[in-house]
Amino acid sequence: MKTSQQISTNRIVYALAWVLLLWACNSDEQHYTTDAPEPLPVKSDLSRFDNGERVMMQAFYWDVEPRFEWWTTLTGKIEDWAASGIDRIWLPVATKGQSGEYSMGYDPSDYFDFGEFDQHGTVPTRFGTRAQLETLIREAHQNGLEVIADIVLNHNSGGGEEFNPYRNKNTYTHFDTTHGNASGKFDRSYKDFHPNSLHDHDEEALFFEEQDLCHHQPRVQEWLWKGENSIAHYYKDHMKFDGWRFDYVKGFGPWVVKAWNDEVGGFSVGEYWDGNAPDLAQWVEDSGSRAFDFACFYKLDEALDRQKDLRVLSGDMLRKIYPDKAVTFVSNHDTEKDENPENNISVTNKMLAYAYILTHDGYPTIFYSDFENTNYRTGLRALIRIHNSIASGDIEILYQGEKEYIMKRHGSEDNPGLILYMNIGTSNRQHTVSSNWKNTKLVDYAGRTNAWLITDDQGQVTIEAPAHNFAVWSVSEE
């Protein structure tokens, strides 16, 4: 328990720090004289505390522009991203879709046309040519980044019309070299879609009723992952992709993802769009794959936007159940274009949400449009450095109220850890907490405040966070 004398001493030291800071800012020479009572503490080089953790970049947004140049645009950013602490880039669906030059790839037609066949009105995909994609992948690998392919296994588009006896009508389920499959690989007919001779639908919900792939058909399995020339093997062995982001995994059984990963391995994350953490955990258990933590996303949206109550963050999240399987995020290509405010986090609260995911456990994803936004870039770079260094050790919630959330990462013998202070109130706030550091100067590594603090001989300290903002406190340079 902190004594009144200790609290008073702490406040005096804190006040002195602010006086010194203001004096320095108003000084013509902007530095302290040698006889200053206390030199201002400086931040440590966080590379000293490299914890081995990194961050994934979602390297696209919906309807990227300019068309045909996206692979080249990304190639020019790889070196900077690698230096910023990114270790994987998640690319959009890289093959030809029914919408041709306007397709974002989620209407897949030819799984093997990476921008080299003239079909659907174009040779290149919206993103460019196969040669440009291969250049991007090589550049990423040379800079130590893995490349994640977006895989759509639930539905197909862009086939030719044929009579479908299982529906007693014509359906667009005829895929061959002249009907949406110019590569000549994985030709398909109505027999490969639902309903068929095996069953009417997969274990899970349907998406496109007429072109919903049947994953139980042996030849479909052979072309998707089992065969030497399957999509899985071709993408890994020929295109050199390192892992997979599986689209709309509610559209088929989790055994499909498990079978794919058992066959070719690599990083894997599924889009199981559900805010219920136990459901996400069940899918993770059944598939063996990571999953995007929609439960965390919706709790952040609720806490910051809808309820404006940080106590909501005590709710269930995948990262609290399986931290090593949770891929956390603040925004993506779908949420950013969703007009429902409950499906996206507001611009004013994005950095608070990023502060949360980049200091807690789970594997964070940064959205391209956020990182390339000059309003966020500096702050995101700082948070990524924090994540890759001092966001380490067990998590302890020190305080959680309507407007304040304070969390401690305990670090380790060689890593100091951190204290995150989120404040969604309309004024600066302070709170006295117990740290792991005794008689130590603290600074905010997130760069949201220039204040500095000193812990007492019991490790207690009165930390602060600016109004509607956050701070990430840790030890200063010795």
87, 139, 146, 271: the catalytic one is 271
As given in the structure block, the two tokens for residue 387 are 């994540």
Residue 247 a catalytic site member: yes
177: left (phi over 0), alpha (psi -120 to 50) or beta: alpha
Q: Both tokens of residue 189?
A: 């007919």
**Residue 238 phi, psi (nearest 5):** -100, -45
C-alpha to C-alpha distances, 239 to 126, 138, 242, nearest whole angstrom: 18, 10, 9
Contacts of 332 (CB under 8 A, 6+ apart): 58, 292, 365, 367
| 324: annotated active-site residue | no
Closest C-alpha among 365, 363, 360, 379 to residue 419: 360
154 is known to lie in a ligand binding site: yes
Judge whether 153 and 245 are in contact, CB under 8 Å: no
Is residue 10 annotated as involved in ligand binding?
no
Q: How far apart (Å, rounded) are the C-alpha atoms in residues 108 and 441?
A: 56
Rounded Cα–Cα distance for residues 466 and 152 (Å):
44
Strands (E), 152-282: 160-164, 169-174, 243-246, 267-270
Give first-to-last CA distance, the chain, whole Å: 27
What does the DSSP assignment read for 277-336?
A: HHHHHHHHHHH-SEEE-HHHHHHHHIIIIIS--GGGGGS--HHHH-GGGEEE-S--TTGG
Contact call for residues 246 and 151 (beta carbons, < 8 A): yes
- Number of neighbours of residue 204 by Cβ within 10 angstroms: 15
Q: d(Cα 90, Cα 245) in Å, to the nearest integer?
A: 8
Q: Which of 113, 146, 247, 444 is catalytic?
A: 247
Find out whether 289 and 257 touch, Cβ atoms under 8 Å: yes
Active site residue ranges: 247, 271
Residues annotated within a binding site for Ca(2+): 154, 212
